[in-house]
Amino acid sequence: MMTADASPPVPSDDDRVIAVPKATWNTEDWWAIALGGAILLLTALAVRLATPADLPERLQALSAAEAAYDSAVDAGTPADELKPLRKDVEDRQAALARNPVKAWVGKIGSWSDNPAKAFESKSGGSIHRPLMYTFGILLLLFGVG
């Protein structure tokens, strides 16, 4: 039993635990920020490099095609005559810029009766190489982080 005038034992320096802070670059949060920034920077660079030189002309052609389509819709043009105008607008939208990483990144498709069909592109080619690139990119990103 302790008396009123007795004080608790004083711990020695060997009994104390001192937290040693980690270096800032060594925390998971900073790795996530750095990897996210790197991904953003690389994709912005890829988009910039994939932007066509004649983009203003393509935008003007798209605006003209959209105006022609809108005026045909407002005039009550039949649907079968609108189809080529809509296709022209869609083609011009697709021609604005291409996906710079499409050849490097792949995903599995769908199938109805044969699962092997999921590993073929719409044109019938194999998607194994883009899938391996995707796996490698993700392995690199998540392996580093």
Same domain, 129 and 145: yes
Burial of 37 (0-12, 13-18, 19+ CB in 10 A): exposed
Whether the CB-CB separation of 108 and 119 falls below 8 Å is answered with: yes
Q: Are residues 57 and 86 both part of a single domain?
A: yes
Number of domains in the chain: 2
* Domain membership of residue 90 as a residue range: 48-100
69 in the same domain as 111? no
Task: Report the distance separating Cα 115 and Cα 56, nearest Å.
Answer: 44
pLDDT per residue as tens digits for the range 99-134 = 887 777 777 788 888 888 888 887 778 888 888 988
Is pTM beyond 0.95? Reply is no
106 domain residue, yes or no: yes
Residues 4-28: tens digit of each pLDDT: 666 777 767 677 777 777 777 677 7
Question: Do residue 86 and residue 125 come from a single domain?
Answer: no
